Amino acid sequence: MSERFGSEYWRETSHYRRFRDYRTALEATTKWYAGLIRLTGRYLPRQGRHLDAGCGHGAFVRLMLRRGLDSYGVDASDWVIAEAKALAPDLAERVAVADVESSLGFPGSFELVSSLEVVEHLQDPVAAIELMAASIASGGRLLLSTPNPINRIPRNDPRTSDPTHINLHPPTWWRDAVEAAGLRIEREWTYYPIPLAWRLSPTLARWIPLGGAAGPGYLLIAQR
């Protein structure tokens, strides 16, 4: 898994290739997630432990630390975790390499587990969802997002946007997997992120909820 997501993936294959370096990508991702928090924030805890499963550049870990959570992140990529530690040595103990299909890296339970645009890259996303669900404390929540391959937005086809998208499914498939793992769906959306505005300022970042299967992204919050 780590070889699939080494520096070549981040710098040449994924959409992060448009950024000149790690720091720039982190700053952009932080702005991008402002729209997610605006849409889902009222459902997210303000205290307790948080784990971002597939944390990439670590933007969501940083945002949840600012929110007041004791936040950690894991990613299968040795390269991206090394970059995260190099940029912020004070946060180095909060990020680790782990394959979320078999390990979440940090022991114990969490009031919030997030996995954002990750499960579509996994060979066995059901195993990952089961592992995440088992780590959620009673009353805690799962925040999960993944591309929606049956969306109705022109030029938003996740089957061609990234060759590492190997497990794309419609929203009903993910809903069933989460419920089978013992969680209760609290809220779900398909959504469309307003393009470009988030680059100007995080205050302009908006993820617009859409009905049914219309949006290019699928997002759910589930509770134990």
The string of pLDDT tens digits covering residues 162-185 is 888 999 999 999 999 999 999 999
CA distances from 181 to 62, 133, 160, 174 (A): 28, 6, 29, 11
Question: What does pTM read for this prediction?
Answer: 0.93
224 pLDDT above the threshold of 90: yes
CA dist 91 to 23, 65, 75, 134, Å? 15, 10, 15, 26
d(CA 148, CA 215): 7
Q: Please state the CATH superfamily assignment of the domain spanning residues 7-223 in this structure.
A: Vaccinia Virus protein VP39 (3.40.50.150)
Give 159's pLDDT tier (boundaries 50, 70, 90): confident
| 10 close to 77: Cβ distance less than 8 angstroms | yes
pLDDT digits (tens, 9 = 90+) for 84-97: 999 999 999 999 99
Locate the domains of the chain by residue range.
Answer: 7-223
